[in-house]
């Protein structure tokens, strides 16, 4: 055991181990939560592969993870496995190319995780393991040690979690919910996942029975009724507890640690709330035909925009870089693909009005910028909670997974967004005319102004929730007190 760990042991009788799922939106949320835990003086051990730990450290915004001395990263090795590029023409929008990484992680991280927890349990009075539900093997492993407790950290919305359990508990809705909700509005839609991924989920789900409680990256101003329902025994499990501590990401970005990125400098020169941020996350790729239509729609709208146009992540985002360095021919092929189907001369025509970003963009800082007035998004929960916390309304374009349910939450429940494409028409191309209409509605209409007003009002409530005296702050303090108890 090294001296740093001995010092942490002497300072604090409880240690926390974070076990994230190896996808950017999940990694990011658990790293933000690690910062909150570490701020209370607790040592945090962040478990993952070397590539994913490096990835999340490079991409986190609003703070510097290397400046937090009591967060320690454990780079566990993963054997070589396929890390193919995404296929924008695939019949299913779910990122099937990442499945080998998901499956490799749950098999090969289990043993080193178990060894770490056993080592810590022999030194610390209590070990609190906080894991993604898709990494619930951590809960099962934790259950074998008397002074180790496991807690699931949900990287999806409370509404999405509620919908997952709706099939068996749907009869509770009308009798328990304060606001009338149609079964159609919250039932889980078809086509969100592949059968193989659903099997993967089913392999982990039973092990959540070993958890002592659930943590949500959400808060009562956003999802109060769904959190109320999930806190009840039929959903939570007998004897378990629920803590809603979100947003875990900063909702005020420290400009002193601002990322050096050209798009932020461009934003500085734009009028307040005039820019539409367009990004579909790290797990979705658009076909060239769809890129063409989106580009035409943005151009015709006449509205300012920042468009992050990049392919979805591979399982190992650094493997691609290594291949490109080693093989000049592959690098040339990638350069040819870099246009991603943009209409000829597009970037020249929109110069001064729009910016196309082809690398990683500082999303949290873009959303926090006063010039940003809207977000065209896939509605992954990481993007939703960041946008809600910054008071930015959303043009929702769900692609897969929990995104259709988050779209319902944003557009119908919170009324701070509009839908670009209905889920039932997910197989259709979104034409330029539809894009133009949505962009104008969000950015240049009274309807859009009202959404911005509602989003800003909700952001104030969210800020109050995470401030001392607020619900999220109280829940975080409650969780810390719970794991420190004697």
289 is catalytic: no
**What average pLDDT score do residues 372-400 get?**
97
Considering only 118-132, 258-272, 372-386, 466-480, which range has the smallest mean pLDDT? Answer: 258-272
Tokens of 239: 């004897």
Q: How sure is the predictor about 69, in pLDDT bands with cuts at 50, 70 and 90?
A: very high
Backbone Cα Rg of the chain:
22
What is the model's pLDDT at position 9? 42
Contact 210, 145 (CB under 8 A): no
Contact 206, 179 (CB under 8 A): no
Instruction: Express each pLDDT in 326-348 by its tens digit.
Output: 444 444 445 444 445 899 999 99
* Chain length of the chain: 486
400 is catalytic: no
Contact 46, 20 (CB under 8 A): yes
Question: Which of the following is catalytic: 32, 40, 97, 132?
Answer: 132
Instruction: Express each pLDDT in 241-265 by its tens digit.
Output: 999 999 999 988 776 677 878 999 9
Instruction: Express each pLDDT in 28-58 by its tens digit.
Output: 999 999 999 999 999 999 999 999 999 999 9
Considering only 318-322, 384-388, 429-433, which range has the smallest mean pLDDT? Answer: 318-322
Q: How sure is the predictor about 12, in pLDDT bands with cuts at 50, 70 and 90?
A: low
What is the model's pLDDT at position 163? 85
What is the model's pLDDT at position 340? 58
Higher pLDDT, 465 or 238: 465
Q: For the residues of 116-132, what is the DSSP string, one character each?
A: HHHHHHTTSSEEEEEE-
C-alpha 434, offset from chain centre? 27
C-alpha 39, offset from chain centre? 21
**What average pLDDT score do residues 208-224 get?**
96
Positive or negative, the CA dihedral 295, 299, 303, 308 is positive
Percentage of the chain with pLDDT > 70? 88
Average pLDDT score, the chain: 89
- Per-residue pLDDT at 106 exceeds 90: yes
Instruction: Express each pLDDT in 275-314 by its tens digit.
Output: 999 999 999 999 999 999 999 999 999 999 999 999 999 9
- Per-residue pLDDT at 200 exceeds 80: yes
**What average pLDDT score do residues 117-138 get?**
97
Higher pLDDT, 231 or 182: 231
Rounded distance between C-alpha atoms, residue 77 and residue 408, angstroms: 39
- Compute φ and ψ for 333, nearest 5 degrees: -65, -40
Q: How sure is the predictor about 62, in pLDDT bands with cuts at 50, 70 and 90?
A: confident
Question: Which of the following is catalytic: 26, 40, 52, 369?
Answer: 26
**What average pLDDT score do residues 9-36 get?**
90
- Per-residue pLDDT at 2 exceeds 50: no
- Per-residue pLDDT at 384 exceeds 80: yes
What is the model's pLDDT at position 38? 97
- Per-residue pLDDT at 266 exceeds 70: yes
What is the model's pLDDT at position 184? 56
What is the model's pLDDT at position 177? 56
- Per-residue pLDDT at 11 exceeds 80: no
Considering only 142-151, 251-260, 427-436, 467-476, which range has the smallest mean pLDDT? Answer: 251-260
What is the model's pLDDT at position 167? 59
What is the model's pLDDT at position 180? 52
What is the model's pLDDT at position 332? 45
- In the three-class reduction of DSSP (H, G, I as helix; E, B as strand; rest coil), residue 23 is classed as coil
What is the model's pLDDT at position 82? 86
**What average pLDDT score do residues 382-406 get?**
96
What is the model's pLDDT at position 337? 46
- Taken in order of first residue, the domains within the chain and their CATH numbers are 12-251+464-484 (3.40.50.2000), 262-314+340-463 (3.40.50.2000)
Instruction: Express each pLDDT in 404-458 by its tens digit.
Output: 999 999 999 999 999 999 999 999 999 999 999 999 999 999 999 999 999 999 9
What is the model's pLDDT at position 8? 43
Count CA atoms closer than 13 A to 4's CA, side-chain side: 8
What is the model's pLDDT at position 291? 97
- Per-residue pLDDT at 381 exceeds 60: yes
Q: For the residues of 374-412, what is the DSSP string, one character each?
A: EEEE---HHHHHHHHHHT--EEE---STTHHHHHHIIII
């Amino acid at each position: 055991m090294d001296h740093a760990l001995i010092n942490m042991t002497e300072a604090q009788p409880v240690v926390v181990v974070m076990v994230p799922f190896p996808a950017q939106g999940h990694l990011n949320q658990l790293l933000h939560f690690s910062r909150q835990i570490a701020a209370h003086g607790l040592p945090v051990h962040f478990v993952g592969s070397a590539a994913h730990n490096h990835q999340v450290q490079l991409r986190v915004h609003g703070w510097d993870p290397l400046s937090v001395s009591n967060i320690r990263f454990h780079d566990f090795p993963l054997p070589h496995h396929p890390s193919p590029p995404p296929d924008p023409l695939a019949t299913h929008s779910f990122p099937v190319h990442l499945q080998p990484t998901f499956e490799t992680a749950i098999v090969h991280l289990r043993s080193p995780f178990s060894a770490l927890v056993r080592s810590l349990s022999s030194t610390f009075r209590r070990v609190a393991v906080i894991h993604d539900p898709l990494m619930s093997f951590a809960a099962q492993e934790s259950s074998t040690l008397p002074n180790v407790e496991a807690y699931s950290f949900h990287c999806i919305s409370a509404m999405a979690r509620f919908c997952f359990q709706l099939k068996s508990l749907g009869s509770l809705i009308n009798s328990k919910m304060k606001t009338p909700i149609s079964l159609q509005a919250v039932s889980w839609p078809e086509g969100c996942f592949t059968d193989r991924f659903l099997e993967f989920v089913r392999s982990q789900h039973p092990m959540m029975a070993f958890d002592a409680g659930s943590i949500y990256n959400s808060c009562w101003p956003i999802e109060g009724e769904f959190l109320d329902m999930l806190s009840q025994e039929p959903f939570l499990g007998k004897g378990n507890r629920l803590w809603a501590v979100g947003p875990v990401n900063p909702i005020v970005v420290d400009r002193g640690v601002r990322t050096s990125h050209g798009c932020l400098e461009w934003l500085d020169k734009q009028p307040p709330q005039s820019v539409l941020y367009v990004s579909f996350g790290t797990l979705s790729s658009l076909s060239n035909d769809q890129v063409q239509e989106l580009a035409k729609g943005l151009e015709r709208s006449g509205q300012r925009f920042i468009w992050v146009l990049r392919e979805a992540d591979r399982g190992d985002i650094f493997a691609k870089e290594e291949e490109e360095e080693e093989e000049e021919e592959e690098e040339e092929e990638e350069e040819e693909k870099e246009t991603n189907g943009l209409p000829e001369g597009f970037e020249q025509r929109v110069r001064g009005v729009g910016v196309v970003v082809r690398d990683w963009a500082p999303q949290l800082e873009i959303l926090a910028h006063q010039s940003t007035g809207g977000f065209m998004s896939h509605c992954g929960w990481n993007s939703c909670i960041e946008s809600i916390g910054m008071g930015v309304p959303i043009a929702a374009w769900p692609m897969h997974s929990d995104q259709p349910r988050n779209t319902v939450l944003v557009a119908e429940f919170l009324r701070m967004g509009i839908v670009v494409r209905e889920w039932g028409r997910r197989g259709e191309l979104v034409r330029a005319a539809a894009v133009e209409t949505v962009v104008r509605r969000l950015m240049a209409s009274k309807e859009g102004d009202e959404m911005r007003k509602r989003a800003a009002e909700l952001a104030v409530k969210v800020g109050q929730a995470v401030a001392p005296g607020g619900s999220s702050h109280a829940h975080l303090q409650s969780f810390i007190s719970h794991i420190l108890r004697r």
